[in-house]
């Protein structure tokens, strides 16, 4: 099956300096949602689980309500290998799972905090709440190496007149700043050293649909998500989240393209294409208005 090629950086308009020894730049200006017609944003009913889930990566022993297969991030066109996600919730956690057919499931990134999408097939979740002041991002590979980022909209703090919070935000030692775009006047800052207290995740290699693949499960504690998302009440049915599930899929490329990535990110870096649950319209996964609307439901699985 032929597929449109793209990469994680094709949605970048302008890029700032990279500190010596760091694989991550300090600021980026990304592309807005294109003006061409796009499919409707997906809607998903997140059901309640009556008992806490054991996070062990074994998705086949749990009643995950799977999403439709992911498509190409920019167009939604069908992609080569099955990728799908699912979400559940209870009073303590928001749960997520991935089911991936992946002939290249072996991973090379082993250092915690590595932006694994540069090197390996990666399963990523980005989540926010409608009207919130920030969002959370996590990416993991098939052996459990991963990174986390807590994002904060500068505009939210500015409008609230919270000068102390703005000062703390720009004193974060290891940060990434996304410059303003669209309706967001002041941009956002990502804490690259963020750690979600109480986070659980597990991965498992498993044949999927008769082919090599792997699965992953995650549990995000509401108590730790609340400050990032700006939630001022306990989760309850009717709460609407904005969620994107993403797969970084690597493909064979010409030696020159590989050499350019290796020169920037080191050995093992390779070109990738983004596959997502909800169509973004371009390669920028950080346009939140294109993330799926996920509403908590009291319907039990």
Is position 180 within any domain? no
The neighbour count for residue 128, using CB atoms within 10 Å, is 23
Is position 171 within any domain? no
Higher pLDDT among residues 14 and 291, named by residue: 291
Report whether 116 contacts 107 (CB < 8 A): yes
153-206 confidence digits (pLDDT tens): 999 999 999 999 999 998 999 999 999 987 788 999 999 999 999 999 999 999
Is position 162 within any domain? no
Is position 295 within any domain? yes
Domain assignment of residue 146, given as a range: 38-152+194-300
The neighbour count for residue 32, using CB atoms within 10 Å, is 16
Say if strands 71-72 and 83-89 run parallel, antiparallel, or are unpaired: unpaired
**CB burial of residue 132 (10 Å; 0-12, 13-18, 19+):** buried
**What's the mean per-residue pLDDT of the chain?**
92
56-96 confidence digits (pLDDT tens): 999 999 999 999 999 999 999 999 999 999 999 999 999 99
Structure confidence at residue 253 (pLDDT):
76
Is position 42 within any domain? yes
Report the DSSP beta bridge partners of residue 244.
126
Is position 157 within any domain? no
Domain with 147 in it: what CATH number?
2.60.40.1190
Confidence of residue 141 (pLDDT cuts 50, 70, 90): very high
- What is residue 50's DSSP assignment? S
Structure confidence at residue 258 (pLDDT):
80
Can you tell me the mean pLDDT for 50-55?
A: 96
The neighbour count for residue 143, using CB atoms within 10 Å, is 17
Is position 230 within any domain? yes
Ramachandran bin of 105, using left for φ above 0, alpha for ψ from -120 to 50, beta for the remaining angles: alpha
């Amino acid at each position: 099956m032929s597929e449109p090629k793209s990469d994680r950086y094709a949605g970048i308009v302008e890029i700032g300096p990279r500190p010596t020894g760091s694989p991550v730049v300090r600021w980026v200006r990304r592309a807005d949602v294109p003006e061409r017609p796009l499919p409707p944003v997906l809607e998903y009913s997140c059901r309640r689980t009556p008992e806490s889930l054991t996070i062990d990566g074994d998705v086949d022993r749990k009643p995950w309500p799977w999403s439709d297969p992911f498509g190409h991030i920019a167009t939604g066109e069908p992609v080569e290998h099955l990728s799908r996600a699912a979400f559940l919730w209870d009073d303590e956690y928001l749960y997520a799972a991935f089911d991936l057919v992946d002939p290249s499931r072996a991973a090379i990134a082993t250092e915690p905090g590595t932006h694994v999408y540069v090197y390996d097939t990666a399963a990523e979740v980005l989540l926010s709440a409608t009207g919130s002041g920030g969002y959370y991002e996590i990416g993991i590979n098939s052996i459990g190496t991963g990174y986390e980022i807590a994002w904060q909209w500068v505009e939210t703090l500015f409008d609230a007149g919270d000068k102390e919070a703005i000062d703390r935000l720009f004193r974060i030692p290891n940060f990434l700043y996304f410059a303003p775009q669209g309706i967001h006047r002041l941009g956002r800052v990502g804490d690259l050293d963020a750690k979600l207290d109480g986070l659980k995740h597990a991965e498992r290699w498993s044949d999927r649909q008769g082919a090599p693949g792997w699965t992953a499960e995650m549990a995000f504690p509401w108590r730790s998500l609340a400050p990032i998302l700006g939630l001022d009440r306990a989760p309850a049915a009717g709460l609407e989240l904005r969620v994107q599930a993403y797969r970084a899929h690597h493909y064979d490329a010409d030696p020159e393209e590989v050499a350019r990535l290796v020169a920037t990110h080191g050995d093992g870096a390779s070109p990738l294409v983004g596959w997502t649950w909800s169509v973004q319209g371009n390669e920028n996964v950080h346009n939140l208005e294109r993330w799926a609307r996920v509403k908590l439901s009291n319907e039990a699985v």
